[in-house]
Each structure stands twice: as structure tokens, then as C-alpha cells.
Amino acid sequence: MTNTSHLNATSEKPVIQLREASANYGGLRILHDINMTVMPGETLAILGRNGAGKTTLLHALFNMGPTLSGTIEIKGQTISHWPTYRIARLGMALVPQGRGVFQTLAVHESLRLATLAKTSRDKALWSLERIYNEFPRLFERRHSSCAALSGGERQMLALARALLTQPDIIVLDEPSEGLAPLTIDDMLVGKLRFLASEGITLVLAEQNVSMALKVASRAIVLSAGHIVFDGSPQALLDDSALHQQHLGI
């Protein structure tokens, strides 16, 4: 059972479902027959070494790049041939690897731009005011250039921009990459736990296993484009052989 136990379990439908999904770049198969389900409110960690296929899997969810086969459903809609913007409007936001923040804008401008995106909801849950309340550091830095932000601040900005599109699913690609250990513990883990407590479904690709397992309710391990584990964080921690074979450096 996940932290969605307050919901009626019988009425729950997956928000993300992949059946025999494969992804190719050119003629090269990167992901092989992926079966994966994400329930509303889950925090799913997708773990694996560099090159395992984590980013390709996240991009497949948004039909961003790889050629797809099999079935990928987001909120019950088969999205394989949809353009990325239309998938995002289902209420799913991507925080890309490297954070995808415009360098030349001021923080406030960058956030205001994000509020202009067309969303799936009539009523905005996340206003600029609420963002500044939850991310006081961004309020302090609102007149700074995005290029002047620290790595942690930039990750917070990327998260805030995602929230302003009013998503109920946020997909994050290696959010801890390049951050100092203290920043990961103080800032990132806390914010991700907060978002999960707000009921947002999180899908988190990470090489940083210990960080990811601090927030995840479930974990998947990818190895050379195959799922080699799908289960609880505790079961993964207990499986030291799998840990060494597929996650060790």
C-alpha cells in the first residue's frame, strides 16, 4: 500500500501504464518490453547506472525522441502518437536532466513565463504567490538572473516552473545530479516529500540510490534497457546481490 491509502483502492486506476513498451533510437533498441504501472500518489524511483535507459524511459512517456512500440497510457489515454505538448496538458510535467532553465531571464520572468502555459485544470492550485511562499529562496532571488543561481536554487526553480503548469504528475530526471550532499538532504528531499504529501505523483530517475530511496514508495531498477527489479525500497535495500550487479559503481 502506498501513501494513497486514503483513496478508495478499488476505484484507483493507474496514471501511467506501459505494456510491452520498447523504444528505439535509429535502428537501435534501447528499452526492451517494459511493463510498468504507476498508481496515483506514488513516488516511483527509476534507478540504474549511467546509460541504463532512464532518460529514454522518461522521454518515452512524453513521446520526446525515441521511436516507440507497445502501449503507453497516461491517465488512460494511449499517447504513443501524440505531440509532447498534448501529453503535458494531461497534467504531467517534466523537469529535464540539467534542469532546462533559461539562463538569460530573471527568476521572476522565468516563473511568469511558466504561468502562461495552457493547463488541463480550470482552477490554478499553484499561483506565483503560493510558489514564493513554498520557495522563499526564489522570492529572495526573484530579481537575479537564472544564470547566477546555485545548483540547488536552479533545481528549485525548475520544480517551481513545473508546478506552475498545475500538474498532478511530475517526472524528474536526475534532480540530485551535481548538487552538494547537504543541498540534496536539506532542499531536494524535503521538497519532494512535500510534493508527495500534496498528492502529486512523482516519477524520479536517479543514479543516487540512497537519495531516491529516501523519498520513493516504490523502486524500479533498469539495466541495459530491461527492468530487473520492481518492488519496495526495503526489498531493494535487502537485495545486496542485485544492488551490486545493477547499481554498484
Ligand X SMILES: Nc1ncnc2c1ncn2[C@@H]1O[C@H](COP(=O)(O)OP(=O)(O)O)[C@@H](O)[C@H]1O
Size, binding site for Mg ion by CB under 5 A = 2
Give CA–CA dist 17/42, Å, rounded: 13
Binding segment for Mg ion (CB under 5 A), chosen from 28-36, 55-63, 88-96, 228-236, is: 55-63
Cα→Cα distances 46→38, 91, 164, 170, 218, Å = 11, 20, 24, 13, 9
CB of 168 to ligand X, least distance (A): 24
Burial class (CB in 10 A: 0-12, 13-18, 19+), 152: buried
Binding segment for ligand X (CB under 6 A), chosen from 54-62, 109-117, 142-150, 195-203, is: 54-62
Cβ 154 vs Cβ 101: under 8 Å: yes
Cα→Cα distances 200→126, 141, 220, Å = 12, 26, 19
- The yes or no reply on residue 175 touching ligand X (CB under 6 A) is no
x/- binding map, residues 35-54, to Mg ion, per CB under 5 A? Answer: -------------------x
Cβ proximity to ligand X: between 137 and 226 the closer is 226
- The yes or no reply on residue 25 touching ligand X (CB under 6 A) is yes
Binder of ligand X out of 54, 141, 154, 191 (CB under 6 A): 54
Binder of Mg ion out of 43, 55, 165, 201 (CB under 5 A): 55
- The yes or no reply on residue 52 touching ligand X (CB under 6 A) is yes
Give CA–CA dist 110/200, Å, rounded: 22
